[in-house]
A and B are shown apart, each in its own frame.
Chain A
Amino acid sequence: MNFKRLGTIGAIAIAGTILLSSCAANEGTPAETDAPESTLSGTIDGSGASSQGSAQEAWVAAFQTANPDVTINYDPAGSGAGREAFIAGGVDFAGTDSALKQEEIDGGFAGCVADSGYLQVPVYISPIAVIFNVEGVTDLNLDAATIGGIFKGTITSWDDPAIAALNDGVTLPSAPITAVHRSDDSGTTKNFTDFLNKVAPEIWDAPAADAFPYTVGEAAQGTSGVVDAVTNGTNTIGYADASKAAKLGVVAVKVGDEFVKPSAEGAAAVVAESPAGATASATDLSISIDRLTTDPTHYPVVLVSYIVTCLEFTDAEAAPNVKAFLSYITSDEGQQEAATSAGSAPLSAELSAKVAAAIATIK
């Protein structure tokens, strides 16, 4: 009896070993293609913003297919963790939702040749949608002051006059509003609150920050958490990457005199016409987004995610791989890839040219 059992265990173990020690079916030598053979090889590691995680997944997949000997790992650990790892020299590049701070730049980067500078380029532009799930309501128009009031807790019912005034002909239920914000620190919150603070400072008096500033409403972890909470709850409203809004209602935000729904074009347009950030230089293309725009072709609730890397690596082998990878990401082809698989807005032609010039300076 026992021997029989041991035999069974053994058989399972052997079968399992065979299964697991066999290589993954989708890896190994790729089929012969007509594409010119790539000379790149090696592994590069990146870490940072989870917002660009799904775009990175698409970029990595396409780049590895074209360059089968290269392995790229992008760890969506969070912007702060990514910057921290890059500053300590732990990764070859970092993805971040907020541009490097001056003190971080002054501190230097362990993975780069001393005083060689750094590269900071926008790679991922995504509109942030204000999503809602209210019975019987499919379209909703709101301005920054009303959105601020809802998320700050001063507007607590869906039939509040402030909301009704903006939505003629929509029957709003007399139900309490459940406003869902992010419980984790995030670039999405920072951009969202920056918009509210710039456009409606009299209501939203807290400065832009990664953490949600007020102790009201509900909180949920991550974009997926907010979307789940809004979807599963009743009479809820929240904010999330527009590409993740799924089947939820999306608020049209007042820009100038019109109400604008989030779109890739609107996001790209506002970024293209925004001024450069405080630390900007030829290799630092950080952007200070113009939230106060009144042009209705713009959608100012937008998130820009950067990649930060070295201009000159102490590990010389990483340089060609990083350079090739970044060139691909910011190329038209790469931006289109992200647009289809992650729902981002492609960089404008002008910005793309500046980015390409900056990347070309990597040694």
Chain B
Amino acid sequence: MTTATASPRAKLRPADRIFSTATLVAGSLILLALAAVAIFLVAQSIPALVADPADLKGSPSSFWAYVLPLAFGSVWAAFLALLMALPISFGIALFISHYAPRRVAQGLGYIIDLLAAVPSVVFGLWGIKVLAPAVTPLYGWLVDNAGWFPLFAPPVSGTGRTILTVAIVLAVMIIPIITAVSREVFLQTPRLHEEAALALGATRWEMIQMAVIPFGRPGMISAAMLGLGRALGETMVVAMVLSPSPGLITFVLTGSQNSSTIAGNIALNFPEAHGVDVNALIATGLILFGITLVINSIARVVINRRKAFSGAN
């Protein structure tokens, strides 16, 4: 800092240069790693894409016919999970940041973080041994009484291991992630904005609507994307809990036959796969990559429209 007094003009200090280069290198390293992963995925996928579809597992009419039901299953399960997790997560985050008394809030935050600590294998075990048997009667009731509704079309699953059960487990898994990130974002709302809103006579909810949510929206979307990424890529829970039917596209939530997901399908079939089947599995991984890419681009567009609220621009 003494160098600053020696020169009246701001000059680039060596330390500054070293630091900025380090950040640049770190960023580039990520690009490099991702490029390597992408090359690996593409190189391993090509044999499956050009192979005779009859050689693929289940002899689909083409590779796309093989991957489409899986892609659908991934998106459907993740969508259901997000649908359940988002309102609950934002509710908890708001509860902790703006409703609960400060002392209580920290404890509550810790309890929710506990959920994030639970590894996916344990969620899988819990899903099979506790949740699936617990929801089976509920599904039976739903199908009996709401079977006319396409999502609950009969017959009902006898073991409760359906896409809805998986989505519930996935939702429970991503709630702590979304909550933790959005809680931190809500806590960073400028105090003055909140006080200004309250001073104008706003109720607490109106204050949140006017000050907290607009400020936190990019962060909320980021949080949701993190959660979605986890839900899309989750392997073990889907493999352990879901009762999949290969090559099937169905919206039914409570039946025995469910669309499998890409990640779950890889985990189930990889151990016994050989030859072009391995390539086909990796190619489905590439597709999942593509799906995440599209969803994230959409999210980015939404966030960028709201850039004015970021503190750093």
Mark A residues whose CB is within 8 Å of B.
50, 77-81, 83-84, 176, 178, 180, 183-186, 210-211, 215-221, 225, 228-229, 232-236
Contacts and interface: CB of A to CB of B under 8 A. Distances in A.
Contacts of A215: 245-248, 257
Contact of B271 (A180, A185, A225, A233): A185
Contact of A183 (B155, B160, B268, B278): B268
Contacts of B269: 184-185, 211
Contact of B243 (A77, A183, A210): A183
Contact of A232 (B58, B133, B270): B133
B185 interface: no
A73 B77 CA distance: 37
Interface of B: 57-58, 128-129, 132-133, 136, 155, 157-161, 239-240, 242-248, 256-257, 260, 268-274, 278
Given A80-B274, A235-B158, 13 more contacts: A80-B271, A81-B273, A178-B157, A183-B243, A184-B239, A184-B268, A215-B248, A215-B257, A216-B245, A216-B257, A218-B256, A220-B159, A225-B128
Contacts of B278: 84
A81 B278 CA distance: 10
A232 B246 contact: no
Contact of A220 (B57, B243, B248, B274): B243
Contacts of B133: 232-233
B273 A219 contact: no
10 contacts: A81-B271, A83-B274, A176-B158, A183-B244, A184-B272, A185-B269, A185-B272, A218-B158, A228-B129, A229-B159
Contacts of A228: 128-129
B58 A78 contact: no
A176 B155 contact: yes
Contact of B245 (A185, A219, A232, A235): A219
Given A232-B128, A232-B133, A234-B136, A80 B158 contact: no
A130 to B, nearest CB: 16
Nearest to A87: B274
A178 B239 CA distance: 19
Contacts of A218: 157-159, 161, 243, 256
**Can you list the 7 inter-chain pairs with the closest CB atoms, starting with the nearest?**
A78-B271, A178-B158, A233-B159, A185-B272, A80-B272, A184-B268, A218-B243
A78 B160 CA distance: 27
B158 A185 contact: no
A357 B131 CA distance: 52
B111 to A, nearest CB: 21
Nearest to A212: B246
Contacts of B128: 225, 228-229, 232
A165 to B, nearest CB: 24
Contact of A80 (B58, B256, B273): B273
A140 to B, nearest CB: 17
A127 B273 CA distance: 24
B243 A232 contact: no
Contact of B159 (A77, A79, A83, A236): A236
Nearest to B258: A219
B239 A221 contact: yes
B274 to A, nearest CB: 5
A84 B274 contact: yes
Nearest to B128: A228
Nearest to B157: A218
Given A218-B158, A232-B132, A234-B136, A178 B246 contact: no
A77 B268 contact: no
A235 B247 CA distance: 26
Contacts of A216: 245, 257
Given A218-B243, A219-B243, A234 B158 contact: yes
B129 A232 contact: yes
B136 A178 contact: no
B247 to A, nearest CB: 7
A188 to B, nearest CB: 11
Contacts of B240: 221, 225
Nearest to A176: B155
Which of A77, A80, A81 gathers most chain B CB within 10 Å? A80
A254 B40 CA distance: 51
A284 B160 CA distance: 45
A233 B268 contact: no
A234 B257 CA distance: 17
B159 A217 contact: no
Nearest to A211: B57
B274 A77 contact: no
Given A178-B157, A234-B136, A186 B272 contact: yes
B244 A79 contact: no
